[in-house]
Amino acid sequence: MRLRRRRRCEVVDVSEANLCLRDDVRVAVVRQVGVQVVLDEKREFRFSLDEMARRITPKTKMIVINTPQNPTGGVLTLDDLKGVAKLARQHDLLILSDEIYSEIYYGTPTAGMLDIPDIGDRLLLVNGFSKTYAMTGWRVGYSVVPKDLVPTVNLFMNNSVSSTSTFCQLAAIEAFSAETAPIVANMVQEFRKRRDVFVDGLNAIPGIRCLKPHGAFYLFPNVSSFGRTSKEIARIVGVKPTSIDTYRSRIMAKLGVEDLCALVRFAIRHGLLQA
């Protein structure tokens, strides 16, 4: 977790988090304090409520959580969420709960903040269509917020998203139809197969250990036994920060195709895509 400071307020969030959450916080943050509590691998990447309680100060205004999590695949339990709610009530805090992966789980359905009674007066729940319905880039989602915060949220949205196009709204309506549910279930089962293959493969490599995530579609292997930082390990195995255009160019060169259309034809021909 990190403790982020504005001139007169702080926000508590988790250290292993999607960078988008950090950037949203930075919109309102002037300074940040380097206080961190790492999500505990021994707890399957769940934080300690006692540690969270110690990080709350009179300046704290909000707790930010994400479950299932990006990038660890960790899932908070109902007891975890009850503990967060208890802290929020004790200290009069808001809760921002990012539940974008709520429908991608590999066992018992995940708990969400709306499972906590009487939390609606301090909850900002955000969700969307990019993960469950593979609509990444369509920029359409939804939220549950206290009524008195709606004007503030609208102000933020007007200056970030502006508006959602009509065809994206129609697609979102279609995503909520009954016909979509079995498609999502099949997708999750495919993710489960991939998860199992990659987790078993990583754990078969000496020096690497990797938990089997309960949600989302990420793996977070532990490579600390090699005595190097994660950036050094990435460099050794040939992973370099680069753009998607660079990756695409490398793939097309490797496959001997000249343009994106040819790449799509190649994928269809080899059964990677269906026409």
**Tens of pLDDT along 92-116?**
999 999 999 999 999 999 999 999 9
209-238 pLDDT per residue, tens: 999 999 999 999 999 999 998 888 888 877
CATH 3.40.640.10 domain locations along the chain:
2-175
Q: H or E segment at 170?
A: helix 166-175
Structure tokens at 82: 């009850």
pLDDT of residue 161: 76
Region 184-194: mean pLDDT is 95
Chain segment 24-61, per-residue pLDDT in tens = 555 544 444 434 566 889 999 999 999 999 988 888 88
| pLDDT (0 to 100) of residue 3 | 42
Q: Are 67 and 215 in contact (CB under 8 A)?
A: yes
Q: Evaluate whether 21 touches 13 at the Cβ level (below 8 Å).
A: yes
pLDDT higher for 107 or 2? 107
* Model pLDDT, residue 160: 73
Sign (positive or negative) of CA dihedral 13, 16, 18, 24: positive
Say if CB 97 and CB 113 are below 8 A apart: yes
The contacts of residue 215 (CB under 8 Å, 6+ apart) are 67, 68, 69, 73, 74, 75, 101, 104, 105, 106, 110
Q: What is the pTM of this model?
A: 0.78
Strand partners for 11: 4, 62
pLDDT per residue over 11-22, tens digit each?
A: 777 656 665 555
**CATH class for domain 2-175?**
alpha beta
